[in-house]
Structure 1
Amino acid sequence: MPSLLVAAIDFGTTFSGYAFSLLHEYKKDPLKISTTTWTAGSRNLVSLKTSTCVLFDPTEKFHSFGYEAEERYSNLALEDKHLDWYYFRRFKMMLYNKMDLTRKTLIEDDKGKKMEAIKVFSTAIGYLKDQMLINCKKQMTGIEESDIMWVLTVPAIWDDKSKQFMREAAEMVGICRDKLLIALEPEAASLYCRHLPIHKDSDSSSFGAFKSGEKYMVVDAGDITVHEVKDNGSLKELHKANGGDWGGTKVDTLFTSLLADIVGKDVMETFSSENKYDFLDLLRDFETKKRIISPELDEKVTFNIPVSLSETFCEKNPGSNIKDVTSKSKHKT
């Protein structure tokens, strides 16, 4: 018997979120999917997913997740009270090809403090699960967890050990094994695209879903999949889903590397360590600006450099200022 509701948790490298589909709505429209919006406390950043960050207090008790964790940790850093807290940010890809992965594997937080990875991952999954249930019960009264089929997405490049790790993390927060499906991210995206009205008929101006025999490719930064629609409407895999560690965090890493190349690696290390609030705010500003970039954008993208970064540079380079070094940088256009 089909589940009354299918709930999916997208545990992303940079952002995470959830969505759910009710059976009676799915039968009418497969694209009828419920989500939620998350709002950051600063930068007015609104999105369908929240930042993949988990914050634990000094006793290793869970405090918050997502934008809320970012805000709390940033505020603690302003008062220099963050040192005993555990802040994990963008930690998902530590599972990528980690051959010695076990339930006892430790993961380092923002300051190098260690905690069991299974606890960090399961806490994040548990938070998203609870938020989904709260949102769902607002729309459908009387829903029980036994009525729900859970889907947890993972990258196609992960090995079986990493996938099993995620399954066990989900089971730790009450998701039953027989009610949990581990799905590859690019395959989930392909199944969604299968129903999108993006195909234009040659003999008309109408749009419809892909027809039998047609092939299509879905490219999602780090993951690629190629499918063909079969006569019965199912999909045939033409190439095994694959990809690489090419997600948004690579862009963020290159951005901080660019800044380090301009002001000096030692300056960036000191700035990011001693001015945590400003550093996190700078990264959030970068995330906001990334969302407005498009092929049609033909103008400069401006960032406000924190005063603390300029002060750190001056401390490390007496007699010089950040404006002069920026104007002389090889990256200047």
Structure 2
Amino acid sequence: MSQKNERRDKNVHDILVVVGIDFGTSYSGFAYCHTASANQEVCTNTEWSGYHGRFKTNTVLQYDDDFEKVTEWGKLAFAKKVERKNMDKDEPKSVGLFKLYLGSFGKLDDDLKPKIPVDYKKAIADYLREMGKLIKTKISEHWPDVNFYENVLLIISVPADYSKKELAIMRECSLEAELIRKENIEYLQFTTEPEAAAIYCMKKCLNEHSLASTGTTFMIVDCGGGTVDLTTRKLVGEDQLSEVTERIGDYCGSSFIDEAFLKHLGSI
């Protein structure tokens, strides 16, 4: 066995907590699970700064006057965005929809990308940093002896069309956000959003409806803030899925619907 494989095996045995992060165009959230728990119960975070009870919070940031320091994030930042809509245009504004700059290289016209006053990489890193602070707090509250950088595996869901370049940017932003200590560390991994949704359906939805039998075919319709993706999967064995049709998707998510609706109202 090579030294690299030995290190990988050691890292796997060191994992005590797995954290799934859904970094979305409009909303984001996370869930976590201790690998040694009796039934490996997944805890979905519902406690956010300023409010409780929702699985996700807004993917929005509020900066100071120099757009250097984050003053609010999530729903509180979105609320301030609404408050500022009738204020002086020179006032600092909330920054959102910055995820659209990733995955859209050559696929999305520039006029459809949001005009933001900061580099999109900075915005992504700043948002992941704020979420990371909350993740670290939750893990520390539940398991004080868990070392975040040595015992926690982070899995971030990403759109299916992300290239190696875009995944590298996500790693770069995660490092800047202090989610990891080294860019190539194996404690950060990615899964595609359709794959994550398919596994969830296989593990939960099919069982709930007594459909978890070999040959069952189901369609995943992922209507997000940036993209809408459709994929069809078949259960071919215990915990095994095959792709029946090639995934299809486009940039026609809710943020574009909102923008088109506002333009339509403005034209009336």
**TM-score class normalised by the smaller sequence:** 0.7 to 0.9
Match of 1:250 in 2: 256
The structure showing larger relative contact order (alpha-carbon pairs under 8 Å, at least 6 residues apart) is: 2
Give secondary structure in 1 for the equivalent of 2:125: helix
**2:153 paired residue among 129, 133, 149:** 149
Match of 1:70 in 2: 78
Structure 2 residue 240 is the aligned partner of structure 1 residue 238: no
State percent identity of aligned pairs: 22
* Pair 1:175–1:40, CA change in 2 (3 A): closer
* Pair 1:77–1:215, CA change in 2 (3 A): closer
Match of 2:111 in 1: none
Match of 1:181 in 2: 189
Q: Any conservation in 2 of the 1:38–1:48 contact (CA below 8 Å)?
A: no
* Aligned counterparts, 1:248-327, within 5 A: 248-262=254-268
Query: Is there any run of 5+ residues in structure 2 with no aligned partner, and where?
Result: 1-11, 108-113
Query: Is there any run of 5+ residues in structure 1 with no aligned partner, and where?
Result: 101-106, 201-206, 263-333
**1:9 paired residue among 6, 10, 21:** 21
TM-score of the pair, normalised by structure 2: 0.78
Give secondary structure in 2 for the equivalent of 1:213: coil
Match of 1:135 in 2: 138
* Aligned counterparts, 1:28-67, within 5 A: 28=39, 32-38=42-48, 47-59=54-66, 60-67=68-75
Give secondary structure in 2 for the equivalent of 1:47: coil
Q: How far does residue 173 in structure 1 lie from its aligned partner after superposition? A: 1.9
* Larger Rg, first or second structure (1 or 2): 1
* Pair 1:197–1:162, CA change in 2 (3 A): closer
**2:119 paired residue among 99, 116, 119:** 116
Q: Any conservation in 2 of the 1:39–1:46 contact (CA below 8 Å)?
A: no
* Pair 1:239–1:40, CA change in 2 (3 A): farther
> What amino acid maps onto 1:54 in structure 2?
L
**1:190 paired residue among 178, 190, 198:** 198
Match of 2:5 in 1: none
More strand by share: 2
Q: Distance in 2 between matches of 1:79 and 1:33?
A: 40
